[in-house]
């Protein structure tokens, strides 16, 4: 792994950014990045949690957007992806042994990096499977995080005829048979990636091609499809966070943001969660695809405006 940033044309490293690595509970090295606020007054620090097969560089633009709002950003690459230490000999397989390892990685990030090096108050913005990890972590974050923004949370998959409960059961059997490291979907990443016209992530051609160029230039940052183990653990985590007893223990105010044209994760599952969670509000951005922070300005600006309104003290930009 490397602690360094990976730059491409059109995606410069934000001003005064710094990177490094920290040790997870099992010794895995995880890469992190800190982006300072560039406007005053200072509003706090956003802990930004990316989704599956994402890396720090994909959020340079978002870090700059938060920076001019007086918000610093702290983020890291999850184990097994980005420039953090990989978990299998075939480094491109999307693998994790347990989502509890992600939760412990977030805890280590707070203990080793965020609390010592970043000024509070602390807010959390998470995307897709990052939102699922955020929810799993929420009970232990109640005295640390002021508010959470969960973007297109991964609770169910679109177009899969099986429930998450069934996926968890089938996956558990397959893992017992020693098949957990096999691909569950998609297989290895294509060198050329998916053509823009066929992608389900964003309607913005420029941002999509920027992200594709990043992975084409630095293929070591990318992963392929999820393994049976990863999908099984995601299904178990999805069940856990929607358990009534777990939801009753959630005490961090949260904004659940769904993409109106999401073809990756289920809008209805997120809407149901927001309706049942005591401290959750719901926003749907009509027409947006799954990666709202990588979307066209017409959708992306709605999300940024919602963050301004929801995260206390950030409605005004001071140059």
The pLDDT of residue 1 is 62
- Segment 84-111 shows an average pLDDT of 97
The pLDDT of residue 186 is 80
The pLDDT of residue 267 is 97
- Segment 41-55 shows an average pLDDT of 96
With a pLDDT cut of 70, the percent of the chain lying above it is: 97
- Segment 51-58 shows an average pLDDT of 97
Q: Is the distance from CB of 254 to CB of 149 less than 8 angstroms?
A: yes
| pLDDT tens figures, 166-179 | 999 999 999 999 99
The model's pTM is 0.95
Q: Is the distance from CB of 228 to CB of 181 less than 8 angstroms?
A: yes
pLDDT tier at 312 (50, 70, 90 boundaries)?
A: confident
Does domain 18-310 bear CATH number 3.40.50.1820? Answer: yes
The pLDDT of residue 317 is 40
pLDDT tier at 159 (50, 70, 90 boundaries)?
A: confident
Does position 248 have pLDDT exceeding 70, yes or no? yes
pLDDT tier at 184 (50, 70, 90 boundaries)?
A: very high
Does position 96 have pLDDT exceeding 50, yes or no? yes
Nearest C-alpha neighbor of 39 from the set 73, 74, 69? 69
Structure tokens that stand for 220 in this block: 């070591």
Q: What is the mean pLDDT of the chain?
A: 95
Distance of CA 281 to the CA centre of its chain: 19
DSSP string, the chain: ---S---BTTBPPPTT-EEEEEE-TTS-EEEEEEE---SSS--EEEEEE--TT--GGGGHHHHHHHHTTTEEEEEEPPTTSTTSPPSSSSTTSB--S-HHHHHHHHHHHIIIIIHHHS-S-EEEEEETHHHHHHHHHGGGGTTTEEEEEEES--SSBTT-SS-HHHHHHHHHHHHHTT-TTSBSSS-SPPSS---GGG-SS-S-HHHHHHHHHHHHH-GGG---SBBHHHHHHHHHHHHHHTSHHHHHT--S-EEEEEETT-SSB-HHHHHHHHHHSTTEEEEEETT--S-GGGS-HHHHHHHHHHHHHHSTT-S----
- Segment 201-218 shows an average pLDDT of 97
- Secondary structure (H, E, C), 207-226: HHHHHHHHHHHCHHHCCCCE
The pLDDT of residue 47 is 98
- Cα–Cα dist 300/59, whole Å: 13
What's phi and psi for 280, nearest 5 deg? -105, 140
The pLDDT of residue 193 is 78
Give the least confident one: 183-187, 207-211, 249-253, 311-315.
311-315
The pLDDT of residue 271 is 97
| pLDDT tens figures, 251-306 | 999 999 999 999 999 999 999 999 999 999 999 999 999 999 999 999 999 999 99
Task: Name which residue leads in pLDDT, 69 or 190.
Answer: 69
- Segment 24-32 shows an average pLDDT of 97
The pLDDT of residue 181 is 97
């Amino acid at each position: 792994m490397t602690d360094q940033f990976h730059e491409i044309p059109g995606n410069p490293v934000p001003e005064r950014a710094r990177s490094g690595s920290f040790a997870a509970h099992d010794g895995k090295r995880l890469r992190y990045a800190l982006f300072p606020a560039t406007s005053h007054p200072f509003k706090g620090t956003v802990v930004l949690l990316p989704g599956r097969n994402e890396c720090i560089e994909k959020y340079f633009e978002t870090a700059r957007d938060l920076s001019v709002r007086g918000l610093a950003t702290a983020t890291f690459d999850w184990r097994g992806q980005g420039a953090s230490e990989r978990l299998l000999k075939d480094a491109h397989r999307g693998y994790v042994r347990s989502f509890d390892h992600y939760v412990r990685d977030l805890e280590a990030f707070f203990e080793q990096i965020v609390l010592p090096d970043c000024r509070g108050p602390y807010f959390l913005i998470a995307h897709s499977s990052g939102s699922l990890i955020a929810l799993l972590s929420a009970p232990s974050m109640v005295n640390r995080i002021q508010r959470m923004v969960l973007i297109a949370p991964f609770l169910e998959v679109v177009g899969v005829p099986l429930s998450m409960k069934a996926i968890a059961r089938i996956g558990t059997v397959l893992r017992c048979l020693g098949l957990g490291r096999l691909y569950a979907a998609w297989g290895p990443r294509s060198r050329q990636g998916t053509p823009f016209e066929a992608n389900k992530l964003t309607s913005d051609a420029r941002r999509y091609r920027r992200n594709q160029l990043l992975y084409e230039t630095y293929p070591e940052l990318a992963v392929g499809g999820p393994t049976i183990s990863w999908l099984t653990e995601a299904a178990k985590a999805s069940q856990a966070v929607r358990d009534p007893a777990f939801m009753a223990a959630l005490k961090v105010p949260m904004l659940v943001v769904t993409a109106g044209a999401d073809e990756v994760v289920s809008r209805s599952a997120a809407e149901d969660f927001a309706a049942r969670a005591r401290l959750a509000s719901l926003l749907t951005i009509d027409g947006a695809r799954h990666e709202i922070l990588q979307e066209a300005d017409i959708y992306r600006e709605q999300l940024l405006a919602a963050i301004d309104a929801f995260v206390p003290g950030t409605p005004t930009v001071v140059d």
